[in-house]
Structure 1
Amino acid sequence: MALTVQNEVTDISSQQTVAQPKSAAPDFAIVFYSGTIGQEFMTRHSFNKQNEMGIGELIDGEQLHSIFNNVHYKIKSEQKEKKVKQLIPDNVLFDDFEQMIWYTKSQTRPMWFRFAGLPPFCCNVVWTPMLWSLDKTNKRLHVFALDSNDRPTLDTCLYLPPLPNVNAHGYLCQGTANLPTDLNFSNIQNIEATLFDSAFAHWWNNQPFTSYDPAAPVKDSLNFWRKRDGKDMPVEIEELISLNIKVSDLM
């Protein structure tokens, strides 16, 4: 079995001052040999300019570990050089390779609806303050309602947002909306747009708000937002469904 490590190289023509597109070329290869007990060993091979693998030299486990450490350090150094230094926005509470959590304050903006059997319509309403939890690995977005515009703490209680397209656990059905490729705080507005700029199409849980009646016609349930259209009429805390979880439970 052979393990080949490749480095990117840039060919620069002597006739031009502009770098040509980068091409990949092998740097070295590690070949593992196996046989009867006591015959397992490894060799390290370099490559010539024609990308032909040369004769190998025996290496032991300690040397292999050192090789991998050097490759890891080189990759990390290159990534560090490419990073753009940015201040973390005040509304971001947590951010690592797997998850990002942030919040938005209450705001007045359009809310679009496109339920089957009903004419599409839009309401200009006061959205609740919300907490957002992004699973970067699985590209899943959860949203929760907050009871105030204060910066959340680990002990802040979370509520179900009184919105269509959100299930009983706060998971947002994004339909045809796509999350951006780069899931970081520089793209928060684009991530939020998958909710704010979408058209709600269905209720996705049995109790999105306290007065919701699952037996009532859909158009009646939408009056929860219709009656707020064009008014400074925020959702009251008594109208929200508590999820009995806190911010700390998301982490």
Structure 2
Amino acid sequence: MKDITNSFRSYFYPTTALVFYQNDGALNETYVEHFDMEDGKPVNPHPLSTEAAKRLATALQVDEDKINLLKSDGILQNNVLSFDAKKSAIIWYTKSQLKQLHFSDGLGIKSGKANVPPLVWKADKDSLQIFALASNRKPTLKSDLHYAPFFNIYQDGSVCMGTVSINTSETGSLKELMSLWENYFFNSYFSHLMADHNPVNGNCVLLWESLIDTDKQFPTDMLIKTNKKLKDILL
């Protein structure tokens, strides 16, 4: 019988060595010498060629798109609707809930707790869009999206975070990215309607004045439908 054990192993042999020389003068110049290897010993020293330098740069190149790719923390949460790891983007929804809301003095609304409607969130590491839902049920592809009934949100759902310092670049966790954006949004101060876009069927100021520090559920009949369904914003 033929012994083929060595066929299953990968051996690595030294083939090249680089030595970097640097002077201690004012110009602080560097010179790189390239050695071939024979029997584990450096031989044939010569300057590093341009072609060899290019091959070295290619070998050391890091694919930044693969850094901090989004990944799940075990089993996906039930409220995750879609995500794209390469784009570091995710879509999720939250049910109606009681949240602390902050309003700037210019609106004349006191800050406090109020029930907010079910929401659909679409985010990457740089931007956030929010839409509202008329029901707490998990949305389907055909579910209508409504304008999120908050200040500081453009008609396309994009959120203006103002002076809030956003730092999501280091996270690769779906759960953490979702939590960061929700905290950023609800801990920011609502200040004004964007480009005269009124997101509700009525007066937005009076609506929130009537809900703050009460047990009232958000009146979903005041939501206004967009021209989009969930399928239109999926990643």
TM-score, L = length of structure 1: 0.62
Amino acid at match of 1:91: N
4+ residue segments displaced more than 4 Å: none
Amino acid at match of 1:123: G
* Structure 2 residue 147 is matched with structure 1 residue 164: no
* Structure 2 residue 12 is matched with structure 1 residue 48: no
Paired residues of 2:109 and 2:208 also in contact (CA < 8 A): no
Amino acid at match of 1:197: N
Paired residues of 1:46 and 1:53 also in contact (CA < 8 A): no
CA offsets per residue over residues 45-90 of structure 1, 9 Å max, x none?
9542437252579x9xxxx8xx97x878x979x979xx88533222
Percent identity between the aligned chains?
A: 26
CA–CA separation in structure 2 for the residues paired with 1:120 and 1:243: 26
CA offsets per residue over residues 124-160 of structure 1, 9 Å max, x none?
2101110000134xx1100000111212222221000
The alpha-carbon distance between structure 1 residues 84 and 103, as it changes in their structure 2 partners (threshold 3 A), is closer
> Offset at 1:114?
0.2
Amino acid at match of 2:189: A
How is 1:74-223 mapped onto 2 (pairs within 5 angstroms)?
86-96=74-84, 97-98=86-87, 99-116=89-106, 121-136=110-125, 139-179=126-166, 180-182=168-170, 184-185=173-174, 186-204=176-194, 205-212=196-203, 221-223=204-206
- Name the SS of the counterpart of 1:227 in structure 2: helix
CA–CA separation in structure 1 for the residues paired with 2:94 and 2:228: 18
The alpha-carbon distance between structure 1 residues 123 and 181, as it changes in their structure 2 partners (threshold 3 A), is same
Which consecutive residues of structure 1, in runs of 5 or more, have no partner in the other structure?
Answer: 1-44, 213-220
CA offsets per residue over residues 162-193 of structure 1, 9 Å max, x none?
11001111111101123322354123211111
CA–CA separation in structure 2 for the residues paired with 1:181 and 1:75: 16
CA RMSD of aligned residues (A): 3.3
- Name the SS of the counterpart of 2:20 in structure 1: coil
Paired residues of 1:132 and 1:144 also in contact (CA < 8 A): yes
CA–CA separation in structure 1 for the residues paired with 2:75 and 2:199: 36
- Name the SS of the counterpart of 1:206 in structure 2: coil
Which consecutive residues of structure 2, in runs of 5 or more, have no partner in the other structure?
Answer: 1-14, 22-31, 35-45
CA–CA separation in structure 2 for the residues paired with 1:165 and 1:195: 10
Paired residues of 1:112 and 1:199 also in contact (CA < 8 A): yes
The alpha-carbon distance between structure 1 residues 182 and 95, as it changes in their structure 2 partners (threshold 3 A), is farther
Amino acid at match of 2:199: P
CA–CA separation in structure 2 for the residues paired with 1:146 and 1:240: 8
CA–CA separation in structure 2 for the residues paired with 1:84 and 1:227: 39
The alpha-carbon distance between structure 1 residues 201 and 129, as it changes in their structure 2 partners (threshold 3 A), is same
> Offset at 1:161?
1.0
Tell me what 1:249 maps to: 232
